[in-house]
Structure 1
Amino acid sequence: MNRRSFLALGAAVAGWTALGACSAPSIAADPRAPGLLDPTRKHTAEAVISTFENSTTELPYAAAQRLGDGRGITAGRAGFTSGTHDLLLVVRRYEQIAGPQNPLHRYLQPLTRIDSQVADGGDGDSTKGLDGFEDAWRRASQTDPRLNQAQDAVYDDLYFRPAMDRARAIGITNALGQLALLDTGIQHGIGSGPDDLPALITETGPPAGDDPAWLRRFLEVRREHLEHPAYEETTDVWRESLPRVDTLESFIDQRQFDLATPLSWTFAGSRFNVG
Structure 2
Amino acid sequence: MKTFTRLAATVLCAAALVTPGTAQAADLNDPQLKDIAMQLVSSAENSSLDWRAQFGYIQDIDDGRGYTAGIIGFCSGTGDMLDLVRLYRDWKPGNALEKYLPALERVNGTPSHDGLDPNFQGDWQSAAQDGTFQGAQEHERDRVYFDPAVNRAKQDGVQALGQFAYYDAIVMHGDGWGDLDFSSIRQRALNTGARPPAQGGDEVQWLHAFLDARVWTMKQEPAHEDTSRVDTAQRRFLNEGKLNLERPLQWHVYGDAYEIG
1:130 matched to 2:119: no
Equivalent pair of 2:16/2:157 in contact (CA under 8 Å):
no
Instruction: Look up the equivalent residue of 2:122 and give its one-letter code.
Output: D
RMSD: 2.1
Identity of aligned residues (%): 34
Equivalent pair of 2:229/2:252 in contact (CA under 8 Å):
no
Partner in structure 1 of residue 213 of structure 2? 221
Match of residue 103, structure 1, among 69, 92, 96 = 96
C-alpha offsets along residues 164-221 of structure 1, whole Å, 9 cap, x if unaligned?
221122222x110111111111111121411211112122123124611110111112
TM-score normalised by the chain length of structure 1: 0.82
Equivalent pair of 2:248/2:260 in contact (CA under 8 Å):
yes
Per mean C-alpha deviation after superposition, the further-off stretch among 259-268 and 177-186 is: 259-268
User: For 2:259, what is the secondary structure of its paired residue?
Assistant: strand
Partner in structure 2 of residue 35 of structure 1? 27
Match of residue 207, structure 1, among 182, 192, 196 = 196
- Runs of 4+ in structure 1 deviating by more than 3 angstroms, as ranges, are 24-30
Provide the rounded CA distance (Å) in 2 between the counterparts of 1:111 and 1:224: 31
Provide the rounded CA distance (Å) in 2 between the counterparts of 1:83 and 1:192: 14
Partner in structure 2 of residue 251 of structure 1? 237
CA 52–91 in structure 1, closer or farther in 2 if over 3 Å, else same: same
Alpha-carbon distance, 1:28 to partner? 7.0
Match of residue 140, structure 1, among 123, 127, 130 = 127
Partner in structure 2 of residue 113 of structure 1? 106
Gaps of at least 5 residues in structure 2 are 18-23
Provide the rounded CA distance (Å) in 2 between the counterparts of 1:202 and 1:71: 25
Number of residue pairs matched?
Answer: 244
Equivalent pair of 2:251/2:259 in contact (CA under 8 Å):
yes
Gaps of at least 5 residues in structure 1 are 16-23, 119-123
1:188 matched to 2:170: no
Equivalent pair of 1:159/1:190 in contact (CA under 8 Å):
no
User: For 2:128, what is the secondary structure of its paired residue?
Assistant: helix
Provide the rounded CA distance (Å) in 1 between the counterparts of 2:235 and 2:112: 37
1:149 matched to 2:135: yes
Instruction: Look up the equivalent residue of 2:114 and give its one-letter code.
Output: K
Instruction: Look up the equivalent residue of 1:110 and give its one-letter code.
Output: A
Alpha-carbon distance, 1:256 to partner? 1.6
User: For 1:264, what is the secondary structure of its paired residue?
Assistant: strand
1:80 matched to 2:74: yes
TM-score normalised by the chain length of structure 2: 0.86
Instruction: Look up the equivalent residue of 2:134 and give its one-letter code.
Output: N
Provide the rounded CA distance (Å) in 2 between the counterparts of 1:45 and 1:265: 13
Partner in structure 2 of residue 4 of structure 1? 3
1:46 matched to 2:26: no
Provide the rounded CA distance (Å) in 2 between the counterparts of 1:25 and 1:187: 19
C-alpha offsets along residues 228-266 of structure 1, whole Å, 9 cap, x if unaligned?
x2xxxx2x22212x1111121100111121113342222
